[in-house]
Amino acid sequence: METNFLTDLFLPLSLGIIMLGMGLSLSPDDFRRVVLYPKAAAVGVVNQIIVLPLVGFFLLWIFGLQNLELAVGVMVLAACPGGPTSNLISHISKGDTALSITLTAISSLIAVITIPLVINLSLAHFLQQGEYVPLPVFDTIIRLTLITLLPVGIGMFIRAKARKFANRMDKPVKLVSGILLFVIIFAAINTNRDIFINSFREVGLITLSLNVVMLMVGFFTARFWRLKLRQSITISIESGIQNGTLGIMIASTLLHNDVMAISPAVYSLIMFATAGVIIAWMNLKVRSGQVVVR
């Protein structure tokens, strides 16, 4: 982006506020819940951390995307598991919200380590030597921890010490997070508005395919392991709804490449449409009595 204010301050600060909001809804029980849902947690985490980047790479190979910076942007997105948005979509879709929060919490911890590894492999594969600077793994882990995990920890601490305050702040922070999400997407698009339309044509179908394929992978792997429908819907959403905000921040702030940020920005627009379909479908099943919400 044109000014350091956006990349060095606004993006990290905005993501920190979004992750703080997630932390306000978390408690230690959300991490311990893995013991209660071992099969569901395992399926969800494997889909997010391992299957998602592999599917992203496979789709890029199938489509043969010529713009290699956009291709790296797709892999940046594929390295970022679900964030607070997936929790909200799971809740509105009548999925298993507790499982959604647990999966987001666990995958966020693991992703701090896996993100720089996936991105560096992608940079080395798609770009020629001298065309990129590899992410310093340790430094990137520290920066991602400060931007994502630290705000989550602060939110959890506030919730533990002042639960009523955390509950009161839940809706306002979610509202602010939603506004910031749209501002971040708009900023990423506006920075490269001259090439955004062409980029949308190039990367739109790929990001849509990544979204839809992972939604299906999440759902059918959950059903294969005989999980309940509500858990299957949640795993589908957690597998298919990536943290586009984090992807935009990594591309613009850590990689200093606004073209790479277009891929997660395009995806962020697309995922709201597919999420709407899931929400409508699941709520229809609830109204028809096919799914009982407890």
**pLDDT means per 10 residues in the chain (294 residues)?**
57 81 80 82 95 96 92 95 81 80 88 94 89 87 88 89 87 78 72 72 92 93 91 91 88 88 88 79 66 53
72, 131 Cβ separation under 8 angstroms: no
Tell me what pLDDT residue 278 has.
Answer: 76
Residue 236's φ and ψ, nearest 5 degrees, are -60, -45
What gap in Å lies between CA 175 and CA 118, rounded to an integer?
32
The reply to whether 294 falls in a domain is no
The reply to whether 286 falls in a domain is no
Cα-trace Rg, the chain: 18
Structural domain total, the chain: 1
- The model's pTM: 0.86
The reply to whether 185 falls in a domain is yes
Tell me what pLDDT residue 263 has.
Answer: 92
Cβ-in-10-Å burial (0-12, 13-18, 19+) of 194 comes to exposed
The reply to whether 287 falls in a domain is no
74, 65 Cβ separation under 8 angstroms: yes
What gap in Å lies between CA 24 and CA 228, rounded to an integer?
28
Domain extent at residue 221: 4-281
Residue 133: CATH number of its domain: 1.20.1530.20
